[in-house]
C-alpha cells in the first residue's frame, strides 16, 4: 500500500484523467484512505459515476465496509470557520422515548442505528453533510462544507426521501417507525471545531439551527416543516401548504411555516423554480430570430438542433420560453426533457420523466392502468414493451419477457424513443426541448446523437440548453446551430429593472450599482433588483422609487448565494487565495496580493492559474506586472462575505500597511482602514482623499469621501482629537456641497452649522476663518443679510491681525460683499480693496483647498462690480482683468465657472453684451463639465440676457426663464432681484409688458423683504420703462425714485442709466431743456470709461440737444 503510485492506481480503475489534480493536491496513499464525497467534488470530480467508482475503490483499499452500527458521516477536514448561507435540516425519530422504555437496550441500539443509517444514506446521496448525531435527533447541513446552487432543494428532496425510507424501517415486533423534520435557511458561522476526540463536532452559530429544531418540534409525525426563507428558495419545485404564522420559543417575532407534501410535476426546472410571473425577455431578439428561423425550417421537414449555450442565469431558459410562446399559436407538439444534477448517472432519466408526464401516469395508478396509458401514447406496438420496461413497469403478463441481452435491449429502447418522436412529427411539427444538457446522462446523450440523422428530414426542432462546460458540438452535424448568449448591456439591464419596478425609475446611482454588480447577467439583475425593492431602503412615489437613506453595498440575494458559493467551493485548495484577493477588490495585482498572502510566489501563481482555469478570474498584463479581475462582481462579493470579520480585518490591516508603503491613493487606504476597523486612521485618510478631490474640483468624489469619514467618526470615543477631526471633515465638506448643490443647499447649511458648533466647542483660531466664512456664505446666499452681515463683521474683526495668510485674505471679503448687496457700495469698496490688496501682497493661490474657491478671483470680480456701480468703468475692467488673470493661473474649475459668470455680470452692467455672452457661454461649459449647479444657472441667465439685448427673441427669454427656475432650485436668493430685473428688461425687448412688470414687482418685493437694496435703482428704472412703453402708471415717478435711490447709494452708474432713460422720455415730450439739465451734470461727473456703451449713448443724447 505504501509503495503504491497514485497515478497507477487511478489508471487501474479507469480514471487516470484525475492524476494531475490528485498530485497537485498532494493526495498520497495515506490521505487517499480518508477522502470523502466533498473532497472529490473539490478535486474536480464532477461526475457522480466517477465519484462512486472512486469511493468504492477507496473503501476496498481501507479493507473495510460500512458496519451496521456505525453510520458514516462526512470526514472532510473541516475548513476554517466561515460565514455562509446554510440550509439546516433537523430530523427527529418520533416516539423514541416510549420505544426505549419498551425495548431492550440492544434492540433500541439497532433501531437507532438503522434509523441513523437511513438518514445518512439519503443526506449523502444529495451531497449534504451529517453534522451531528444526537441519539434520536440528527442535524444535517446543506451548503457546507460544499455549497450547491440548489441546497434548499436538496434539503427538501432529502426530507421527502427520508420519509420514504422510514416506511421500510420497523422496530422489533413490527412497529412502524416515523420521523418529523424541520428545515430552515439563513446566515450562520459554521466550521469551528469544538470538543475533543469522539465528542468533537463542527459548531454552527446563528439563529438558523435553532429555528430548524423548533420547526421540527412543530411538525406532526411524518411531516416536513419549512421556514419561509427556505420556501422562497425552492420556488414551485415542491407542493407546499401554508401552516400559518407560528410563535416559536427562542425565536423573535412570528415565523411563517410551510409543510412540504411532495415534489411538483413540472416539464422544466425553469418552470418549477419560477415562483411568480415570468418577466419579459430583454436583449435576446437576435437570438430568438435565429431560433425562429430554424423552427420555420423544421416545420417544412428540415430537422434542426439548436444549442443555446451560456453561463448560469444568462437567459437560456428565457429564450426557450419565448420560443414556446411563439409556437403556442401554431399547431405543434411539445416534448420536454429536463436533465437533473441528481440524475447524471441515471440512464434516460429525462425521457422517463417526459413519458410519465405525457402519458398522464399518476403515482396511485395500477400497473395495468399505467400500461394502458402508455399504449395510448405510443403508436408503434413493438416499441411498447421496451418503453414499459424503461418505466419500470411489469410488462411480462401483457407483452411477454424481453429475450435480449442488456446492450441489445438498450439499443432497442433508444430506437423506440426515436420512433416515438418521428411518429409525433408525422402528426404535427415537434418542438423538442432538452434543458440543462450539462447534467445529461450518457445514455440520453447517445439518444440525442442517434436522433441527429433520423430527424434531419423530419418536422422536428431540438432546442438544447447548456452551460459552457458542456463541450459537445455533436460532431459538427449540418443540422446543428450553436448560439452563445452573451451578457447584456446597461440599456438592457435598465429595461429589466424597469420591468420589475413597473416602469417606475430607480435612482441612477442605484441602477449604476446594480449594473456593475450583475455584469449583464439577467438572473443576477432580477434577483438583486428584487432584493433592493424588498430591502426597506426604497420609498415608492407616484412615478419613481427613492432612496430613504445612504446607498450602501448591495447584499447578495439568498437566491444566488448557493450558486456563487458553489463556484468557489469547487476550488477548495485555492479558495483562500480567492478570498484574500476579494479583500483587495474586484481588480487586483500580483504584487499587492503577494504582500498579504502567506503563500510563496510559485504556489500563489499556481493558485491563480487554477482560478483562471475555473474562469473565476481573468488575467491581463505581463508578469510581474500582471493584474487580475474577478469574472463576476458577485463572485468576488461571495468570496469576501464568506470570510469571518476577524479574518477580513486582518487582511485589510496588511493591505493598509502594504499600500501606505506604496504611497497609494488616500481613498484606497481609507477603504481598507475602514474595513480593518482602524477607524481614526480611516477618517484621516477619508479627509485627505476629500481634500485632494476638492482641490481638483472633483466635488462629487470629495463629497463621497468626506461623508464616508463623517459617517465613520461616530465610532470613535469622545476626545478632543475626535472633535477636531470631525470639525476638519465638516468644514472640508461644505465647499464641495455648495459647489454642486449651490451655496444655499439645505445640506450645506446643516453641515456648516455643525462645523460652527464644533468650532465653538474647540475654539481653534486656525479654523475660525473657514467656519465663519462657511456660515456667512450660506446665510449671504440665502439673502439672510441680518444674519450674514454680523458674521461678516465678526470675520473682519477677528481676522485682521491673524498670522494665517489665507484667513487674512478673507478677513475683508465677506463684509465687502454684504455691504454691496445692502446698497452701500462706497463702504463695500473699502473692504474689497483691502481684500484684493492683501491677496496681491501674499501672491494668492492659497485659498482653494480651505474655501472651495480662489477667493482672490472672487474679490477682484466683486471689486469690479462695486467700482462699476460707483461710476469707475475703467477701474472696474482692470479689476475684472485681474480676476481673469487669477482664474487662468490657478485653473481651478469651480473658480473658473463662478468667476466667468460674474465677469459676464460686469460686462452686462456696462452694456458690453457681446462680451457678456462670451463670458457666460464659457461659464456654462465649465459648470456643466463639473456639475456646478448655481454657476450654470447664473451662466444661463446672463447668456439669455445677452442674447435678448443683442437680438430680442423667444429663445433668449426661454433660456433666461429656465436659468431662473434652475437657480431657484438651488435655494439661493441673493442677487435674484438683479436677475429678475435683467429678465424684465429682456421682456421689454419682446414687448411682453405684463410679464415684465410682474418680474419687476417680484424683484422689488424680494429686495424689500431681504434688505438687498443694491439693485433697487435699476428695478425702479426698468419699471418706469415698462410702464412708459405700455402706456401705464407713472413712469416719471419711477424714474425719480430710481435717481433718488442711486444718489443715496452713490451708485453713479445706475444714476446715469436712470438719467439717460428719463431724459429720452422728456425729449420725446418736448422737454429738451429739462432733459439736458438732468443728464449733463450726471455725465459730467464721470472721469473715465467714455468709450463704454452707456456713456457713449449719454454723450450722443447730449450732443443732440445742441
For the chain, the first-to-last Cα distance in angstroms comes to 128
Q: What is the pLDDT of residue 923?
A: 96
Region 78-84 average pLDDT: 73
pLDDT digits (tens, 9 = 90+) for 408-456: 999 999 999 999 999 999 999 999 999 999 889 989 999 999 998 899 8
Shortest CA distance to 771 belongs to which of 751, 750, 752?
Answer: 752
Q: What is the pLDDT of residue 128?
A: 92
- The CATH number of the domain covering residues in 975-1104: 1.25.40.10
Q: In what order do the strands lie in the sheet with 627-630?
A: 587-589, 627-630, 617-620
Grid cell listed for 730 = 465638516
CATH topology of domain 6-62: DNA polymerase; domain 1 (1.10.150)
The residues, any chain, with a CB within 8 Å of residue 881's CB and separated by 6 or more, are none
pTM of the complete model = 0.70
Does 536 score more than 80 pLDDT? no
Question: What is the CATH class of 82-263?
Answer: alpha beta
Identify the band that residue 38 occupies on the pLDDT scale cut at 50, 70 and 90.
low
Q: What is the pLDDT of residue 813?
A: 92
Backbone angles phi, psi at 251, to 5 degrees: -115, 125
Contact by Cβ (8 Å): 269, 434 = no
Does 76 score more than 60 pLDDT? no
CATH topology of domain 665-760: 1.25.40
Does 74 score more than 50 pLDDT? no
**983 vs 527 pLDDT, higher one:** 983
Identify the band that residue 195 occupies on the pLDDT scale cut at 50, 70 and 90.
very low
Task: Tell me the torsion sign for CA atoms 910, 912, 915, 916.
Answer: positive
Grid cell listed for 46 = 464532477
Cα separation, 1067 vs 1076, whole angstroms: 9
Task: Tell me the torsion sign for CA atoms 1051, 1052, 1055, 1060.
Answer: negative
Region 256-277 average pLDDT: 72
Does 924 score more than 90 pLDDT? yes
User: Kind of pairing, strands 304-309 and 333-338?
Assistant: unpaired
Q: What is the pLDDT of residue 71?
A: 43
Classify each residue of 745-775 as buried b or exposed e, where b means 16 or more C-beta atoms within 10 Å of its C-beta.
beebbebbbbbbebbeebeeeebbbbbbbbb
Of 91-95, 116-120, 612-616, 1004-1008, where does mean pLDDT reach its minimum?
Answer: 612-616
Backbone angles phi, psi at 89, to 5 degrees: -120, 125
Task: Tell me the torsion sign for CA atoms 77, 81, 82, 85.
Answer: positive
Q: What is the pLDDT of residue 49?
A: 64
Contact by Cβ (8 Å): 873, 1056 = no
Write down the residue that cell numbers 481609507 correspond to.
Answer: 670
Backbone angles phi, psi at 279, to 5 degrees: -70, 160
Q: What is the pLDDT of residue 820?
A: 96
Question: Distance between alpha carbon 1053 and the CA centroid of its chain, in Å?
Answer: 56
Does 201 score more than 80 pLDDT? no
For residue 308, the cross-strand partners are 465, 483
Q: Could you give the residue ranges of the DSSP H alpha helices within 545-643? A: 558-569, 572-584, 590-596, 601-613, 633-641
Q: What is the pLDDT of residue 566?
A: 78
Grid cell listed for 359 = 402519458
Does 274 score more than 80 pLDDT? no
pLDDT digits (tens, 9 = 90+) for 788-846: 999 999 888 887 777 676 777 788 999 999 999 999 999 999 999 998 998 888 765 55
Does 891 score more than 60 pLDDT? yes
* Residue 1 CB coordination number (10 Å): 11
Identify the band that residue 544 occupies on the pLDDT scale cut at 50, 70 and 90.
confident
Q: Is the peptide bond before 493 cis (omega within 30 degrees of 0)?
A: no
Grid cell listed for 610 = 487554477
Q: Where are the beta strands (DSSP E) in 69-178?
A: 82-93, 129-134, 137-142
Q: What is the pLDDT of residue 196?
A: 46
Of 753-767, 978-992, 1048-1062, where does mean pLDDT reach its minimum?
Answer: 753-767
Identify the band that residue 903 occupies on the pLDDT scale cut at 50, 70 and 90.
very high
Classify each residue of 30-39 as buried b or exposed e, where b means 16 or more C-beta atoms within 10 Å of its C-beta.
eebeebbbbb
Region 397-401 average pLDDT: 86
Q: What is the pLDDT of residue 303?
A: 93
Identify the band that residue 72 occupies on the pLDDT scale cut at 50, 70 and 90.
very low
DSSP letter for each residue of 855-907? HHHHHHHHHHHHHHHHT-HHHHHHHHHHHHHHHHHH--HHHHHHHHHHHHHHH
Identify the band that residue 91 occupies on the pLDDT scale cut at 50, 70 and 90.
very high
Question: Distance between alpha carbon 566 and the CA centroid of its chain, in Å?
Answer: 22
Cα separation, 509 vs 970, whole angstroms: 21
DSSP letter for each residue of 678-721? -HHHHHHHHHHHHHHHHHTT-HHHHHHHHHHHHHHGGGS-S-HH
Q: What is the pLDDT of residue 978?
A: 96
The proportion of the chain whose per-residue pLDDT surpasses 90, expressed as a percent, equals 43
Backbone angles phi, psi at 126, to 5 degrees: -100, 15
Cα separation, 91 vs 114, whole angstroms: 14
Does 78 score more than 80 pLDDT? no
Q: What is the pLDDT of residue 1094?
A: 96
Does 876 score more than 90 pLDDT? yes
Of 70-84, 206-220, 536-550, 852-866, where does mean pLDDT reach its minimum?
Answer: 70-84
Cα separation, 116 vs 169, whole angstroms: 11
For residue 619, the cross-strand partners are 628
The residues, any chain, with a CB within 8 Å of residue 285's CB and separated by 6 or more, are none
Q: What is the pLDDT of residue 75?
A: 41
Region 1079-1104 average pLDDT: 95
pLDDT digits (tens, 9 = 90+) for 365-393: 899 999 999 989 998 888 899 999 898 88
CATH topology of domain 764-889: 1.25.40
Question: What is the CATH class of 284-484?
Answer: alpha beta
Identify the band that residue 880 occupies on the pLDDT scale cut at 50, 70 and 90.
very high
Q: What is the pLDDT of residue 1042?
A: 96
Q: Mean pLDDT over all residues of the chain? A: 86
Q: What is the pLDDT of residue 175?
A: 84
Q: What is the pLDDT of residue 18?
A: 80
Task: Tell me the torsion sign for CA atoms 644, 648, 653, 658.
Answer: positive
pLDDT digits (tens, 9 = 90+) for 977-1032: 999 999 999 999 999 999 999 999 999 999 999 999 999 999 999 999 999 999 99
The proportion of the chain whose per-residue pLDDT surpasses 70, expressed as a percent, equals 93
CATH topology of domain 567-661: Arc Repressor Mutant, subunit A (1.10.10)
3-state secondary structure of 801: coil
Q: What does the domain layout of the chain look like in residue ranges? A: 6-62, 82-263, 284-484, 490-547, 567-661, 665-760, 764-889, 975-1104
Ramachandran bin of 392, using left for φ above 0, alpha for ψ from -120 to 50, beta for the remaining angles: left
Contact by Cβ (8 Å): 541, 508 = no
Region 880-901 average pLDDT: 92
Cα separation, 1043 vs 309, whole angstroms: 82
Within a 13 Å sphere around the CA of 269, how many CA atoms are in the beta-carbon half?
21
Region 640-668 average pLDDT: 90
Does 260 score more than 50 pLDDT? yes
For residue 239, the cross-strand partners are 262
Q: What is the pLDDT of residue 672?
A: 92
Query: CA triplet 396, 401, 406: central angle to 5 degrees?
Result: 125
Of 315-329, 564-578, 658-672, where does mean pLDDT reach its minimum?
Answer: 564-578
3-state secondary structure of 304: strand
Does 527 score more than 60 pLDDT? yes
**Is-same-fold flag (665-760; 764-889)?**
yes
Does 14 score more than 60 pLDDT? yes
Grid cell listed for 1104 = 443732440
DSSP single-letter state for residue 380: -
Q: What is the pLDDT of residue 179?
A: 92
Of 289-298, 387-396, 768-777, 910-919, where does mean pLDDT reach its minimum?
Answer: 768-777
Amino acid at each position: 500500500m505504501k509503495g503504491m503510485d497514485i497515478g497507477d492506481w487511478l489508471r487501474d480503475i479507469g480514471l487516470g484523467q484525475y492524476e494531475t489534480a490528485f498530485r497537485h493536491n498532494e493526495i498520497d496513499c495515506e490521505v487517499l484512505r480518508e477522502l470523502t464525497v466533498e473532497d472529490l467534488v473539490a478535486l474536480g470530480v464532477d461526475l457522480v459515476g466517477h465519484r462512486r467508482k472512486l469511493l468504492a475503490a477507496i473503501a476496498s483499499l481501507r479493507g473495510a465496509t460500512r458496519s451496521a452500527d456505525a453510520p458514516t458521516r462526512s470526514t472532510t477536514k473541516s475548513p476554517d470557520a466561515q460565514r455562509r448561507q446554510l440550509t439546516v435540516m433537523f430530523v427527529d425519530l418520533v416516539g423514541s422515548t416510549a420505544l426505549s422504555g419498551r425495548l431492550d437496550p440492544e434492540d433500541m441500539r439497532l433501531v437507532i442505528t438503522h434509523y441513523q443509517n437511513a438518514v445518512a444514506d439519503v443526506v449523502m446521496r444529495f451531497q449534504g453533510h451529517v453534522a451531528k448525531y444526537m441519539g434520536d435527533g440528527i442535524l444535517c447541513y446543506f451548503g457546507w462544507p460544499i455549497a450547491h446552487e440548489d441546497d434548499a432543494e436538496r434539503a427538501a428532496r432529502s426530507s421527502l426521501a427520508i420519509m420514504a425510507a422510514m416506511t421500510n424501517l420497523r422496530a422489533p415486533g413490527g412497529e412502524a417507525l416515523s420521523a418529523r423534520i424541520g428545515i430552515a435557511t439563513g446566515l450562520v458561522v459554521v466550521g469551528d471545531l469544538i470538543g475533543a476526540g469522539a465528542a468533537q463536532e463542527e459548531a454552527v452559530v446563528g439563529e438558523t439551527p435553532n429555528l430548524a429544531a423548533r420547526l421540527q418540534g412543530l411538525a406532526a409525525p411524518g411531516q416536513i416543516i419549512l421556514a419561509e426563507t427556505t420556501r422562497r428558495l425552492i420556488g414551485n419545485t415542491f407542493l407546499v401548504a401554508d401552516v400559518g404564522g407560528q410563535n416559536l420559543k427562542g425565536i423573535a417575532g412570528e415565523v411563517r411555516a410551510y409543510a412540504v407534501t411532495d415534489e411538483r410535476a413540472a416539464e422544466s426546472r425553469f418552470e418549477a423554480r419560477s415562483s411568480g410571473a415570468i418577466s419579459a425577455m430583454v436583449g435576446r431578439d437576435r437570438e430568438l430570430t435565429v431560433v425562429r428561423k430554424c423552427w420555420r425550417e423544421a416545420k417544412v421537414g428540415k430537422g434542426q438542433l439548436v444549442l443555446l449555450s451560456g453561463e448560469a442565469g444568462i437567459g437560456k431558459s428565457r429564450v426557450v420560453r419565448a420560443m414556446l410562446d411563439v409556437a403556442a399559436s401554431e399547431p405543434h407538439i411539445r416534448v420536454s426533457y429536463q436533465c437533473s444534477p441528481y440524475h447524471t448517472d441515471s440512464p434516460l432519466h429525462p425521457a422517463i420523466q417526459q413519458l410519465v408526464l405525457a402519458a398522464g401516469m399518476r403515482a396511485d395508478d395500477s400497473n395495468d392502468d399505467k400500461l394502458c396509458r402508455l399504449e395510448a401514447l405510443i403508436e408503434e406496438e413493438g416499441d411498447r414493451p421496451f418503453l414499459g420496461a424503461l418505466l419500470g413497469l411489469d410488462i411480462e403478463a401483457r407483452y411477454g419477457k424481453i429475450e435480449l441481452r442488456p446492450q441489445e435491449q438498450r439499443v432497442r429502447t433508444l430506437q423506440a424513443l426515436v420512433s416515438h418522436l418521428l411518429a409525433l412529427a408525422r402528426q404535427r411539427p415537434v418542438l423538442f426541448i432538452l434543458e440543462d444538457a450539462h447534467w445529461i446522462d450518457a445514455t440520453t446523450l447517445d439518444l440525442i446523437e442517434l436522433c441527429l440523422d433520423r430527424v434531419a428530414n423530419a418536422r422536428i426542432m431540438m432546442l438544447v440548453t447548456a452551460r459552457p462546460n458542456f463541450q459537445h458540438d455533436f460532431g459538427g452535424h449540418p443540422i446543428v446551430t450553436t448560439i452563445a448568449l452573451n451578457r447584456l448591456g446597461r440599456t438592457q439591464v435598465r429595461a429589466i429593472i424597469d420591468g420589475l419596478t413597473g416602469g417606475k425609475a430607480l435612482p441612477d446611482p442605484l441602477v449604476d450599482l446594480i449594473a456593475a454588480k450583475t455584469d449583464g447577467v439577467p438572473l443576477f439583475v432580477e434577483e438583486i433588483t428584487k432584493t433592493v425593492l424588498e430591502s426597506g431602503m426604497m420609498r415608492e412615489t407616484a412615478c419613481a422609487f427613492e432612496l430613504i437613506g445612504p446607498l450602501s453595498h448591495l447584499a447578495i440575494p439568498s437566491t444566488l448565494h448557493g450558486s456563487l458559493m458553489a463556484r468557489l467551493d469547487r476550488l477548495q485548495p485555492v479558495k483562500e487565495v480567492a478570498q484574500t484577493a476579494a479583500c483587495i477588490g474586484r481588480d487586483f495585482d500580483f504584487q499587492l496580493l503577494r504582500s498579504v498572502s502567506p503563500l510563496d510566489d510559485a504556489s500563489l501563481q499556481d493558485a491563480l492559474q487554477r482560478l483562471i482555469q475555473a474562469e473565476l478570474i481573468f488575467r491581463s498584463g505581463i508578469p510581474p506586472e500582471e493584474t487580475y479581475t474577478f469574472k463576476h462582481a458577485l463572485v468576488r462579493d461571495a468570496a469576501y462575505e464568506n470570510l469571518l470579520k476577524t479574518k477580513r480585518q486582518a487582511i485589510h490591516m496588511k493591505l493598509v500597511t502594504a499600500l501606505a508603503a506604496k504611497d497609494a491613493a488616500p481613498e484606497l487606504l481609507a477603504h481598507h482602514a475602514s474595513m480593518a476597523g482602524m477607524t481614526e486612521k480611516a477618517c484621516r485618510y477619508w479627509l485627505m482623499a476629500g481634500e485632494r478631490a476638492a482641490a481638483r474640483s472633483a466635488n462629487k468624489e470629495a463629497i463621497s469621501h468626506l461623508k464616508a469619514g463623517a459617517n465613520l467618526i461616530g465610532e470613535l470615543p469622545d476626545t478632543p482629537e475626535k472633535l477636531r477631526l470631525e470639525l476638519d471633515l465638516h468644514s472640508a465638506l461644505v465647499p464641495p456641497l455648495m459647489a454642486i448643490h449651490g451655496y444655499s443647499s439645505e445640506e450645506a447649511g446643516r453641515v456648516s452649522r455643525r462645523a460652527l458648533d464644533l468650532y465653538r466647542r474647540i475654539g481653534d483660531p486656525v479654523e475660525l476663518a473657514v467656519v465663519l466664512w462657511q456660515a456667512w456664505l450660506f446665510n449671504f446666499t440665502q439673502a439672510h443679510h441680518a444674519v450674514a452681515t454680523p458674521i461678516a463683521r465678526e470675520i473682519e474683526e477677528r481676522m485682521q491681525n491673524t498670522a494665517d495668510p489665507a484667513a487674512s485674505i478673507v478677513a475683508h471679503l465677506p463684509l465687502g460683499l454684504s455691504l454691496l448687496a445692502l446698497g452701500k457700495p462706497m463702504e463695500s469698496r473699502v473692504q474689497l480693496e483691502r481684500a484684493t490688496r492683501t491677496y496681491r501682497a501674499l501672491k494668492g493661490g492659497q485659498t482653494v483647498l480651505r474655501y472651495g474657491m480662489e477667493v482672490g478671483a472672487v474679490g477682484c470680480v466683486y471689486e469690479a462690480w462695486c467700482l462699476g456701480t460707483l461710476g469707475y468703468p475703467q477701474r472696474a475692467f482692470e479689476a475684472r482683468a485681474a480676476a481673469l488673470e487669477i482664474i487662468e493661473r490657478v485653473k481651478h474649475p469651480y473658480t473658473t465657472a463662478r468667476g466667468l459668470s460674474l465677469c459676464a455680470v460686469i460686462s452686462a452692467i456696462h452694456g458690453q453684451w457681446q462680451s457678456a455672452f462670451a463670458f457666460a457661454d464659457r461659464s456654462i461649459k465649465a459648470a456643466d463639465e463639473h456639475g456646478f449647479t448655481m454657476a450654470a444657472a447664473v451662466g444661463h441667465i446672463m447668456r439669455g440676457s445677452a442674447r435678448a439685448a443683442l437680438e430680442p427673441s423667444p429663445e433668449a427669454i426661454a433660456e433666461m426663464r429656465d436659468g431662473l427656475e434652475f437657480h431657484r432650485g438651488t435655494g439661493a436668493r441673493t442677487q435674484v432681484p438683479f436677475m429678475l430685473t435683467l429678465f424684465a428688461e429682456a421682456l421689454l425687448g419682446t414687448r411682453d409688458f405684463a410679464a415684465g412688470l410682474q418680474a419687476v414687482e417680484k424683484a422689488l418685493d424680494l429686495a424689500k423683504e431681504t434688505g438687498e437694496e443694491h439693485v433697487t435703482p435699476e428695478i425702479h428704472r426698468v419699471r418706469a420703462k415698462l410702464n412708459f412703453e405700455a402706456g401705464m402708471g407713472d413712469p416719471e415717478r419711477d424714474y425719480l425714485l430710481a435717481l433718488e435711490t442711486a444718489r443715496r447709494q452713490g451708485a453713479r452708474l445706475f444714476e446715469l442709466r436712470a438719467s439717460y432713460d428719463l431724459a429720452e422720455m422728456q425729449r420725446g415730450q418736448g422737454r429738451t431743456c429739462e432733459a439736458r439739465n438732468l443728464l449733463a451734470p450726471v455725465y459730467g461727473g464721470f472721469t473715465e470709461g467714455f468709450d463704454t456703451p452707456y456713456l457713449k449713448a449719454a454723450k450722443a443724447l447730449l450732443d443732440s440737444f445742441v
